[in-house]
Structure 1
Amino acid sequence: MDIKQQWNAFLTDATEEEQQVASLYLKSLERKRNGSNGTHIGALMEINSEFQEPDTLTMTIPNTELLQNSLDILHGGLTATLLDSAMGTLAFKLIPDDKAAVTTEMKVNYVAKGVGDHFTCVASVIHKGSKLLVMEGKVYRSDGVLIAHATGSFFVIPKRI
């Protein structure tokens, strides 16, 4: 069975919830295709980034069924992914064009449940060296309550060309 047949067979018996989730997947593929998001995970999470000042980045994601765990709250691993993405994107922006930044360590403290319409991560710089950046990230839910705090270290390496 080819992909079109698989897709049609799935949709034929899909519940309304499954159809909504399938629609979210398709929209994420379109966001990746049209360049709205540079990665599939960013497109799946519907990440929207904004640089606020030279050393601060804000990333926002909507709360969707794709991001929730079995308790209907934001999955902790996806919270960590949002933190890593925001801190890493900021780190990457702060280094020379011929370099890349990779996560070497990250610690996350979860302090409240992830519920609400959307989540906003604010990343900022703690230390910027020539070989290592240390970042901080905080994730807030739509009512402004902090749900997670992280610190991360990012090693600066040569970019592959």
Structure 2
Amino acid sequence: MDLAQQWSEFLIEATEEEREVASLYLESLKRIQSGKNGTHIGALMGIKSEFQEPDTLTMTIPNTAILQNSLDILHGGLTATLLDSAMGTLAFKLIPEDKAAVTTEMKINYVAKGVGNEFTCVANVIHKGSKLLVMEGKVFRDDQTLIAHATGSFFIIPKRV
């Protein structure tokens, strides 16, 4: 059975929620195809990034059924992914082009449930050394309530060519 037939069969039997989630997957693939997102996880989460200052990055995601856990709140692992993505993206912006930054440690405190229409992560630099960056990230709901706080360390390594 080809892919078009698989999609057709799925959609015929799908619930409204399953159709909504399938649509979100398709939209994420289109974001990859168009170059709006560079990774599949970023596209699936609907990540949008903006550099605020030289040492600050804001990353926003919409709240969708894909991101929720069984309690209908933002999944903690996806909150961690948002924090790691924001801090890591900022780390990459601050290092020379021939280098890469990889997460070596991250500590997260979850302080409120993730509900609302969107979530915004603000990442800042705590320390920038020649071999290590230490970052801070905070995730807020759309009512400005802090839901998670993290610190992360990133090794600076040679970029693979």
TM-score category, normalised to shorter length: over 0.9
In the TM superposition, what is the alpha-carbon distance from 1:8 to its structure 2 partner?
Answer: 1.1
In the TM superposition, what is the alpha-carbon distance from 1:150 to its structure 2 partner?
Answer: 0.1
In the TM superposition, what is the alpha-carbon distance from 1:7 to its structure 2 partner?
Answer: 1.1
Partner of 2:151: 151
Residues 72-95 of structure 1, C-alpha deviation per residue, up to 9 Å, x if partnerless? 000000000000000000000000
Partner of 1:59: 59
After TM superposition, the runs of 4+ consecutive aligned structure 1 residues lying more than 6 A away are none
Gaps of 5+ in 2: none
Distance 1:119 1:69 in 2: 15
Distance 1:105 1:71 in 2: 28
The 5 A counterparts of 1:12-161 are 12-161=12-161
**Pairwise CA RMSD of aligned residues?**
0.5
SS of equivalent to 1:149: strand
Distance 1:7 1:110 in 2: 38
Distance 1:15 1:106 in 2: 38
Residues 4-39 of structure 1, C-alpha deviation per residue, up to 9 Å, x if partnerless? 221111011111111111000000000011000000
Distance 1:97 1:130 in 2: 14
Task: Give the count of matched residue pairs.
Answer: 161
Distance 1:67 1:31 in 2: 17
Residue identity over aligned pairs, in percent, reads: 82
In the TM superposition, what is the alpha-carbon distance from 1:3 to its structure 2 partner?
Answer: 1.8
Which one-letter code corresponds to 1:21 in the other structure?
A: V
Gaps of 5+ in 1: none
Distance 2:79 2:7 in 1: 30
In the TM superposition, what is the alpha-carbon distance from 1:117 to its structure 2 partner?
Answer: 0.5
Which one-letter code corresponds to 2:69 in the other structure?
A: N
Distance 2:40 2:4 in 1: 20
In the TM superposition, what is the alpha-carbon distance from 1:2 to its structure 2 partner?
Answer: 2.3
Distance 1:160 1:5 in 2: 40
Distance 1:81 1:11 in 2: 30
